[in-house]
Structure 1
Amino acid sequence: MSRRTATASAVAFAALTALVLTGCGTTSVEASGDDTSSEPVSQSCENDSTTTSTDPVTLTDDLGRTVELDKPAERVAVLEWQQTEDLLSLCVTPVAVADAEGYSTWDTAEKLPEGVADVGTRQEPSLDAIFGEDPDLVIVEVSSPDDEIVSQLEAYDVPVLATVGADAAEPIQHMKDTFSLIAEATGRSERAGVVLDEFDTALAEAKDAVADADLETMDFVYFDGWAQGGNVAIRPFGQGSLFGELGEELGLTNVWSGEVDPVYGLGQTDVEGLVEVGDAMLIYTGTDDPESDSVVDLLADNDIWASLPAVERGDVYAFPSGIWTFGGPRSAEQAIDAYVDLLTA
């Protein structure tokens, strides 16, 4: 599976399918011999006027490690998609990323410029390729304090910033904190403040829009799935999931009550398990997984699926393709927009 596998392999269907320049504006780099400076990191960065700090950096990462930099990082290698998106939202072009093709499929919140080096998969990146790009910081996502990727990278004597992908106790705040941590490491905290203010504004406006909508039910379940050989596995985004929490912030009620993992808030079920959600509307990830058959297409011929109240009344919705369910503020804004569009249509 191509999605969340490296740090959430225990929950991302494994069990189911046995499943810078100093100053103002855009920071850009040369990667793999290609000059990316002529291509803006994102549309919002074209008019960015925030400043980049030049002060030394001392921070504590998600593993409690002290990371010290003589100056904010400019040449950053990043090995997970949320953190790649975060860098781009901060108007910093990474010198290297893991699985650039997958990122471009699953995360459309920020476009990855041409010329950024692809250093292999998120699960098994090439260390030689990473350090061949001469980074002054490597950002990784870890699942535990003893994750071996940290010690492997530290052997190259380059600072490593370890981040944890999620926290089901406070998924939205954790998403923001990760973004702010990367901003601090790159001297882009002023830019981070702008992006986070825009997120908060979008959330507040969307909440008002949903409150004004005449909805038949406020109950919902968001899910994605995996299908192979006719077998369908469903992953509900329960309490503690980022997209589930965004829905609840908008005034909806996430009614998935099954067991979820303590990090991402993700559950595991099959089509029979969806009977338990009653009259709730069903919302699912709209990105076509190149490594999976279409879950909803397969469910279309399933009698249990057809009998679900949401299916009978046409209350089943796909989010637009390319909204990364484990992303940063910009992906979260995309999700907010998608919720509003489908609920107020």
Structure 2
Amino acid sequence: MKLTRVLAATGAITLALTAAACGTTDSDDEASSSDVPTSNAEGCDGDIATSTDPVSLTDGLGRTVELDQPAKRVAVLEWQEMEDAISLCVDPVAVASPDSYSQYVSAEKLPEDAVNAGERGEPDFDALYGADPDLIILETFDPNDETLKKLEERDVPVLVTTGADTDDQIGNVKDVMSMIGEATGRSARADELNQEFDDAIAATKEQVADTVAALPTNKFLYMDGWVESGNLTIRPYTSGALMTQMGEQLGLTSAWTDEVNESYGSGGVDEQYGLAQTDIEGLTAVGDANLFFSGATQAADDPENYVTAMEKNPIWNNLPAVKDGRTAQFSSSLWTAGGPRSCIALLDAYVEALDQISK
């Protein structure tokens, strides 16, 4: 997910995960994972079941990707997939925009020795190939993507993921994890991580059921924003966004409907991710909905801090949810377009937010 202004992220507390690593077996299609750069992620403190069978899979663009054996040295050019590889106990040998990743994505920590392969969308090809990867993972929705075309000219296989699906964002999160798991011979590990996510959704829904039922309304809006040239822009998360669909799993209802967007939206920023765009006046369209928003990365007195600008605005202060104390700011340390472990932490953040607005 490439956000050029504010990189939305939430959650201050990461859910502790207790799943143990899968053990290796003595069968012909399993091998020790000791020759794969192994992460320090939760559950990666032992050998991980890793297939040695040839890989043939269809990627997110319908391309066939074939490997003589599962990838061991993966280079990853988008944050969700970087997180996923680390969760799979495979440390990427090269990554894109590592400094920003470390600021916005806290679910999994990047390896210190990963090569900086440039920026997301603009990789440094010399650095990328200098890391000697046996698989490059790229996220794009466009089969004619310029970076993809350049990568396909080289001899290292490229796996393309599509990082979002507005019809089923949660399913897509799991599909991307499964795809990377298959490419690295870690399908069993991927299944385990996806099950953790499913279990977290079910447990969180049960945990917040009474709280949601007691709210004056179950309608909600998640949003972030930015300030440019003194102008405040709000980015509502529509019903097609991952954060919204997770909220709906908890019994909430999206307030930024298609009808609202038609009347108050001013153009999408990332349509594939279900993100809209409006001004501060547009928030009046959601009525008495509960309001959740990402914290800003700037200092509070920075003129580009959108939260400060928003909270100083009289329109904001006259919204029903603001008057009633039904707003919650999420921290900017978790990625709202991440993998299963980011999503689990986001669910934990929802619990805190709902508890806050119910008091």
Q: What's the TM-score once normalised by structure 1's chain length? A: 0.88
Distance in 2 (alpha carbons) for counterparts of 1:59 and 1:179: 13
**1:123 Cα deviation from its structure 2 partner:** 2.3
Name the residue aligned to 1:270: 279
The gaps in structure 1 that reach 5 residues or longer are 14-20, 30-36
Indicate whether 1:331 and 2:342 are aligned: yes
Q: 1:164 to 1:189 in 2, by over 3 A?
A: same
Q: 1:289 to 1:56 in 2, by over 3 A?
A: farther
Task: Check whether the contact 2:121–2:147 (CA below 8 A) recurs between aligned residues.
Answer: no
Name the residue aligned to 1:307: 318
Name the residue aligned to 1:33: none
**1:262 Cα deviation from its structure 2 partner:** 4.3
Task: Check whether the contact 1:107–1:322 (CA below 8 A) recurs between aligned residues.
Answer: yes
State the SS of the aligned residue for 1:131. Answer: helix
State the SS of the aligned residue for 2:276. Answer: coil
Task: Check whether the contact 1:26–1:45 (CA below 8 A) recurs between aligned residues.
Answer: no
State the SS of the aligned residue for 1:45. Answer: coil
Q: Which amino acid aligns with 1:275?
A: T
* Structure 2 residue corresponding to 1:160, chosen from 158, 161, 172: 158
The gaps in structure 2 that reach 5 residues or longer are 7-23, 25-29, 263-267
Name the residue aligned to 1:253: 253
Q: Which amino acid aligns with 2:220?
A: F
**1:27 Cα deviation from its structure 2 partner:** 6.8
State the SS of the aligned residue for 2:167. Answer: coil
* Structure 2 residue corresponding to 1:55, chosen from 53, 56, 63: 53
Task: Check whether the contact 2:55–2:66 (CA below 8 A) recurs between aligned residues.
Answer: yes
Task: Check whether the contact 1:209–1:344 (CA below 8 A) recurs between aligned residues.
Answer: no
Distance in 1 (alpha carbons) for counterparts of 2:148 and 2:158: 7
1:187-207 per-residue CA deviation (whole Å, 9 max, x = no partner) reads: 011001111111111100100
Name the residue aligned to 1:197: 195
**1:143 Cα deviation from its structure 2 partner:** 2.6
Shifted more, 175-184 versus 284-293: the winner is 284-293
Q: Which amino acid aligns with 1:273?
A: G
Name the residue aligned to 1:297: 308
Moved segments of 4+, more than 6 Å: none
Name the residue aligned to 2:169: 171
State the SS of the aligned residue for 1:139. Answer: strand
Indicate whether 1:45 and 2:23 are aligned: no
Name the residue aligned to 1:17: none
Distance in 2 (alpha carbons) for counterparts of 1:277 and 1:163: 34
Q: 1:241 to 1:73 in 2, by over 3 A?
A: same
Name the residue aligned to 2:15: none
1:105-130 per-residue CA deviation (whole Å, 9 max, x = no partner) reads: 11101011211111111121111110
* Structure 1 residue corresponding to 2:89, chosen from 74, 88, 91: 91
* Superposition map of 1:161-240 within 5 A: 161-213=159-211, 214-240=214-240
Q: Which amino acid aligns with 1:51?
A: A
Name the residue aligned to 1:138: 136
Task: Check whether the contact 2:74–2:135 (CA below 8 A) recurs between aligned residues.
Answer: yes
The count of residues paired between Structure 1 and Structure 2 equals 321
Q: 1:236 to 1:51 in 2, by over 3 A?
A: same
Root-mean-square deviation (CA, aligned residues, Å) is 2.1
Shifted more, 253-262 versus 101-110: the winner is 253-262
**1:292 Cα deviation from its structure 2 partner:** 8.1
Name the residue aligned to 2:101: 103
Task: Check whether the contact 2:230–2:303 (CA below 8 A) recurs between aligned residues.
Answer: no
Task: Check whether the contact 1:285–1:321 (CA below 8 A) recurs between aligned residues.
Answer: yes
Distance in 1 (alpha carbons) for counterparts of 2:2 and 2:333: 14
Task: State, as a whole percentage, how many aligned pairs show the same letter.
Answer: 49
Task: Check whether the contact 1:27–1:93 (CA below 8 A) recurs between aligned residues.
Answer: no
1:115-149 per-residue CA deviation (whole Å, 9 max, x = no partner) reads: 11111111211111100011000000113111121
Q: 1:77 to 1:248 in 2, by over 3 A?
A: same
Q: 1:45 to 1:25 in 2, by over 3 A?
A: farther
Distance in 2 (alpha carbons) for counterparts of 1:85 and 1:309: 38
Distance in 1 (alpha carbons) for counterparts of 2:244 and 2:250: 10
Distance in 2 (alpha carbons) for counterparts of 1:174 and 1:189: 16
Task: Check whether the contact 1:26–1:91 (CA below 8 A) recurs between aligned residues.
Answer: no
Shifted more, 88-97 versus 315-324: the winner is 315-324
